Chains A and B, each alone.
Chain A
Amino acid sequence: KAGVTQTPRYLIKTRGQQVTLSCSPISGHRSVSWYQQTPGQGLQFLFEYFSETQRNKGNFPGRFSGRQFSNSRSEMNVSTLELGDSALYLCASRSGTSGGPQETQYFGPGTRLLVL
């Protein structure tokens, strides 16, 4: 089975622009989560989508949004970029079928975003 894929892998934007990142989960997985990783704050949960519905959202401003399509692929959008948005954005998927705490998330390679 192919793993989680993310595009693009690297991105350079300027302040004020917006950006869209894409994530394709493992085949058959219905849940996609997004995390932001920075040297200062570490790994922080952004949001989770399950069957096209946002299940949970982390403590991020409204500039961060996402969506999930019927094929479980997900996109994350950041509007009005700030310098502090420079980070590694990681997408993770899980099957969403077991319902138990042992269910594991599998991560993609990430998208490195640099805001100038």
Chain B
Amino acid sequence: AQKITQTQPGMFVQEKEAVTLDCTYDTSDQSYGLFWYKQPSSGEMIFLIYQGSYDEQNATEGRYSLNFQKARKSANLVISASQLGDSAMYFCAMREYSYSGAGSYQLTFGKGTKLSVIP
């Protein structure tokens, strides 16, 4: 089973509108982190926002917010007031973390959602 599922291969949004990108995850760990990255056509992965499994409040970073529903294992990214520069691939990723001393760091990524912002 996939650990990170992004069901929307592509999305369109009108400029200045809000858009929600879906992400569901699968883990048996109690402690984990969820990340969203943006990848423009240039290729670089740009960190957007982080949500920890123990965080009670939804994370927000400027125009980005994360709708975290732990029981449903979903971590949807909400982009408010879309801009043309938001057109890119968006990836949801998870780090499963077991506090066993010096742990390693490995992100598992979803397949991504291609967002296109229409003027």
| Chain A interface residues toward B at CB < 8 A | 31, 33, 35, 42-43, 45, 48, 50, 55-56, 58, 88, 90, 92, 94, 96, 99-110, 112
Which residues of B does A touch, CB under 8 Å?
Answer: 31-33, 35, 37, 42-47, 50, 52-53, 91, 93, 95, 97, 102-112
> What's the least CB distance linking A93 to chain B, in Å?
10
The CA-CA distance from A24 to B50 in the complex, in Å, is 24
Which 6 residue pairs of A and B lie closest in terms of their CB atoms, listed nearest first? A56-B104, A107-B45, A101-B33, A55-B104, A43-B109, A101-B97
Contacting residues, chain A, for B93 (C-beta < 8 A): 43
A56 in contact with B44 (CB, 8 Å): no
Please indicate the chain A residues that have their CB under 8 angstroms from the CB of B53 in the complex: 101
Bound: A48/B112 CA distance, A: 22
- Tell me if B's interface is mostly helix, strand, loop or mixed: loop
Q: Count the A-B residue pairs with Cβ separation under 8 angstroms: how many?
A: 70
* B44–A108 touching, CB < 8 Å: yes
Main secondary structure of the interface of A (DSSP, over half): strand
User: Contacts A101-B53, A101-B97, A110-B44; is A55 near B109 (CB within 8 Å)?
Assistant: no
Whether the Cβ atoms of A48 and B43 lie closer than 8 Å is: no
A45→B107 contact, CB < 8 A: yes
- How many angstroms between the C-alpha atoms of A64 and B95 in the bound complex? 23
30 contacting pairs across A/B (C-beta < 8 A): A35-B107, A42-B109, A42-B110, A42-B111, A43-B93, A43-B107, A45-B106, A45-B108, A50-B104, A55-B104, A58-B106, A88-B43, A90-B45, A92-B45, A100-B97, A101-B33, A101-B97, A102-B33, A102-B50, A103-B33, A103-B105, A104-B35, A105-B47, A105-B105, A106-B47, A107-B44, A107-B46, A108-B44, A109-B44, A110-B44
- Contact present for A105 and B107 (CB under 8 Å): yes
Report the minimal beta-carbon distance from B92 to chain A, rounded to whole angstroms.
11
Given A102-B33, A107-B45, A109-B42, also A33-B112 (CB < 8 A): no
CB–CB A43/B91 < 8 A: yes
Q: Which residues of B contact A56 (CB under 8 A)?
A: 104-106
